Amino acid sequence: MLYQLYETQRALLSPFAEFASASAKLYSHPMSPFANAPGSQRMAAGFDLLHRLTKEYEKPAFEITSVKVGGVDVAVQEQTVEARPFCRLLRFKRYTDNAQLLERMRAQPAVLVVAPLSGHHSTLLRDTVRTLLQDHKVYITDWVDARMVPLSDGAFHLDDYVAYVQDFIRQIGPEVNVISVCQPTVPVLAAISLLASNGEATPRTMTMMGGPIDARKSPTAVNNLAMNRSHEWFESNVIYRVPQNFPGVGRRVYPGFMQHTGFVAMNPDRHVNSHWDYFLDLIRGDDDSVDAHRKFYDEYNAVLDMPAEYYLDTIKTVFQDFALVYGTWKVRGQAVRPQDITKTALLTVEGELDDISGAGQTEAAQGLCSGIDEASKRHYIVQGAGHYGIFSGRRWREMAYPEIRSFILKHQG
């Protein structure tokens, strides 16, 4: 019922959002007679803020059409390599007429970025992809909003996530370097472990960034919620069925709007202050700050539904049973053994101020992967970085990325 109520509220607010947008333009457009009226800037700013607080946020586009490689601009085209019910494997193909540069790009390492399936769309890693494209051939997992997947396509469990990652690695080839950000560190480590246990080729390197490999270490508010509530509580309180008007009607999901509420509740004061600053920036005409706010919240407010089976599996396996670190996790009947990985180099990256995955949670992979030679392991802490700072923004570009680039290059053979 809650999901239906939310959709009803959204439908009722839609006309108000459009009215607010039109009113903001009425008081700000230079050709409007109201633009020069007393207090017009405040009126325009207020209506603009009201519009952004009530509008619906759709999945943003990556909008990566070019990138500099060796100081030269090259064209970038987004391609769908494979489409599955719950995920698309995308490649950002680079093009140039410069024969010498083309040969250089062909020789660069391939990278598979496994994006989180934890509320936001893969476009949250736009900055990650754009930066990696300078020196790599880049693929990324683009997870599908579960409410858009018909019931006829079946369920999606954590085991299916692991299988998807394995298949994508096989498709790209053993020369690939895998980067997992946040939530997927656990299923990615499982996927590579199973490949190794079965004698299959494993990636050149795996980079684990800010993920809950061992959620017992330095537990955060996110960890505490998952650990202090029962599995039955989650199933009863956060799982709902997709309502009418969506392809996935009837599918059990953890709705995106509930996840978004949780994100905001973690730092409510920060978001209130951010919107107040946005209102003031509109009045002052600070276009750079206004654009930065819009870009951030266009991404932050765009959320997706997660399949209920996958979400509940993750809560139990990762945050309640700690099955990976205890060695009790089985994927489709086969034990997950990180110690079987011997030919894949390991880099773990953590943010000094990460309030999502606490200190030591990602580093725990170093001890689990005991079969990897110590010379092929590295742990790096991004000083001054929070959770998002390790894969987006200045600290990502200037601190984390050079470490990852160097690590990948070192282990290309």
Q: What is the pLDDT of residues 315-360, one digit of tens each?
A: 999 999 999 999 999 999 999 999 999 999 999 999 999 988 999 9
Among the ranges given (9-18, 56-65, 174-183, 301-310), the one the predictor scored with the smallest mean pLDDT: 9-18
220: pLDDT strictly greater than 90: no
- Please list the residue range(s) of the chain that carry CATH number 3.40.50.1820: 66-234+305-410
**Taking the CB of residue 119, how many other CB atoms lie within 10 A of it?**
22
413: pLDDT strictly greater than 80: no
Residue 38 burial (10 A CB sphere; 0-12, 13-18, 19+): exposed
**Taking the CB of residue 330, how many other CB atoms lie within 10 A of it?**
12
Closest by CA position to 263, among listed 292, 293, 303, 226: 303
265: pLDDT strictly greater than 80: no
Query: What per-residue confidence (pLDDT) applies to 262?
Result: 76
The strand pair at 110-114 and 306-307 is best described as unpaired
Look-up: residue for tokens 């001054």? Answer: 384
Q: What is the CATH number of domain 66-234+305-410?
A: 3.40.50.1820
- Contacts for 130 with CB less than 8 Å, ≥ 6 apart: 64, 67
Among the ranges given (42-46, 91-95, 129-133), the one the predictor scored with the smallest mean pLDDT: 42-46
Q: Is the dihedral of CA 161, 188, 302, 215 positive or negative?
A: positive
CA distances from 195 to 89, 243, 291, 359 (A): 19, 39, 45, 28
Q: What is the pLDDT of residues 365-405, one digit of tens each?
A: 999 999 999 999 999 999 999 998 999 999 999 999 999 99
In whole angstroms, give the CA distance from residue 275 to residue 280: 9
Q: What is the pLDDT of residues 81-106, one digit of tens each?
A: 999 999 999 999 999 999 999 999 99
- Contacts for 153 with CB less than 8 Å, ≥ 6 apart: 85, 86
In this structure, the dihedral spanned by the alpha carbons of residues 223, 228, 231 and 234, taken in order and rounded to 10 degrees, is -80
305: pLDDT strictly greater than 80: yes
75: pLDDT strictly greater than 80: yes
Query: What per-residue confidence (pLDDT) applies to 140?
Result: 98
Query: What per-residue confidence (pLDDT) applies to 128?
Result: 97
Among the ranges given (57-66, 147-156, 398-407), the one the predictor scored with the smallest mean pLDDT: 57-66
Closest by CA position to 108, among listed 166, 176, 171, 167: 176
7: pLDDT strictly greater than 90: no
Tokens standing for 165? Answer: 């990652």
What mean pLDDT is predicted for residues 114-135? 95
What's this model's pTM, rounded to 2 decimal places? 0.91
Residue burial 64-87, b: 16+ Cβ < 10 Å; e: rest: beebebeeeebebebeeeeebebb
Query: What per-residue confidence (pLDDT) applies to 29?
Result: 85
Phi, psi of 197 (to 5 degrees): -60, -30
